[in-house]
Structure 1
């Protein structure tokens, strides 16, 4: 008989294991530890979303300790996430893109969903699919990374700062906790100055060879000092022109 191929998802996606040949990392570990007789068919494990490289290595060690490495085969590895600073995140667990690369005018990267990201913990809907808000955040992170990699920095070498001012999103299909790819194309959209480079972008999220999500974006790649000055000025004006509501403590 042939091999059985199993997708391994993080425990945060336990609801998705109602589908055939899908197990969580905890379920696989329990199954391996209790498996007295090797399955002659063989089982090939593939990493899906919610599984990082540390978890995948630990799963491989569990298989090895059980003496099943000849019949239970962890294959491949989860994508390596980018550093949190490159996508302006405070916590590494909130990084949602892995191994991005530039090819011509296209930027592509893997969708990552850490098992313990707060963006899943705080989502109240059933988690068989990836929440739309998380997909939009992944798109934003890819564009942020792409601006830092593809748009020339300001004169002193400081990377430019991506600021979106228009976002249109179409959700065509649910995205499930299986491998998915983001593909972005950035286009210059007007005359560049030292202060800003105007851009448009389209980002497609693809899964199972189908486009699930399309985002159309207008943005500027700013000199960080310039945009922070604008932000500070607008903040001061907003404070001056906002009247406290009656009965609400200032």
Structure 2
């Protein structure tokens, strides 16, 4: 007899989870207390979302050292996350994609990999699903990583690369649950302007072959120093305008008071 169990991170434990889904801590506790003696035949364990690398290692160790190790087949989906530099993140736990690879001409695929300590899941409590903000950030990271890894020659390397998003059109079609999920990305260059290159990326998030969300993102990549210069100039303009507006408001208030 073969059975399947899906293990998710404790942050994704909710009252209405399906029966064959269990949280990380409960799964480990069951193994340690020999409460898995109901296993008959082979049990296939799949690692879902919300489990960090240390927990993955601990889970693997617990399975190997349990009395039921010969009956358990662990599918850990051990895909390497993309580099922090490719998604412009400082913290490893905030990277959301792993196993990035080309699957066709200008088409790429990656696995969604949500760490339990990711900044976007620390305070989400509504239902047993992955929030739209996580999906949007995963899409952004996917487009950025594809560009950084496979289209790096299009932008000047001098000060790194800066990304500026011009438009983002998204459609959510179904709930995305904290289980195995895939992102796909089709990318095309839409224009070149000196050190600036414009792209369009069409992205989908799939689970069990069904599209949960899709998006079209248009963005421009440029030399990092150029981007910093543009940002600094516009920031100064905003500060001047706000300061001028504040002075006018204070003058009007004083006149009214008098």
Map 1:65-144; keep pairs closer than 5 Å.
65-103=65-103, 104-123=105-124, 125-144=125-144
Map 1:1-250 → 2, pairs under 5 A: 2-15=1-14, 18-35=17-34, 37=37, 39-103=39-103, 104-123=105-124, 125-151=125-151, 152-156=153-157, 159-190=160-191, 192-242=192-242, 243-244=245-246
Q: Give the TM-score normalised by the residue count of structure 2.
A: 0.87
8 Å contact 2:3–2:44 — kept in the other structure?
Answer: yes
Cα pair 1:201 1:216 within 8 Å, conserved: yes
CA RMSD of aligned residues (A): 2.0
Structure 1 residues 84 and 25: alpha-carbon distance in aligned structure 2, compared to 1, 3 A threshold: same
The answer on whether the counterparts of 1:53 and 1:80 sit within 8 Å (CA) in structure 2 is no
Q: Which runs of 5+ in 2 are unaligned?
A: 251-258
User: Number of paired residues?
Assistant: 243
TM-fit CA distance, 1:16: 6.8
- TM superposition outliers: structure 1 runs of 4+ over 4 Å: 155-159
Cα contact 1:167–1:217 (8 A) shared by 2: yes
- Name the larger-Rg structure: 2
Instruction: Tell me how far apart the structure 1 counterparts of residues 57 and 91 of structure 2 sit (CA, whole Å).
Output: 22
Query: What SS is found at the alignment partner of 2:14?
Result: helix
* 1:128-175 Cα distance to aligned partner (Å, 9 max, x none): 111101110111111111111122154556653322110011001010
Structure 1 partner of 2:254: none
Instruction: Say which is worse superposed, 105-114 or 154-163, in terms of deviation.
Output: 154-163
Moved more, 192-201 or 2-11: 192-201
Is the CA contact 2:84–2:95 (under 8 Å) kept in the aligned structure 1?
yes
2:187 counterpart SS class: strand
8 Å Cα contact 1:13-1:127 kept in structure 2? no
Which consecutive residues of structure 1, in runs of 5 or more, have no partner in the other structure? none
Whether the 8 Å contact between 1:148 and 1:161 is mirrored in structure 2 is no
Task: Work out the CA distance in 1 between the residues paired with 2:213 and 2:66.
Answer: 41
Deviation per residue, 1:76-117 (Å, 9 max, x gap)? 434221222221112111111111112321121111110111
In 2, Cα distance between equivalents of 1:43 and 1:201: 40
How far residue 205 of structure 1 moved from its aligned partner, in angstroms, is 0.6
Give secondary structure in 1 for the equivalent of 2:4. strand
8 Å contact from structure 1 (residues 38, 71) kept in 2: no
> 1:16, 1:48 → 2: CA distance?
17
1:50, CA displacement in angstroms?
Answer: 1.2
Kindly indicate whether the alpha-carbon contact (under 8 Å) linking 1:153 and 1:160 is maintained by their aligned counterparts in 2.
no
CA distance in 1, matches of 2:15, 2:5: 13
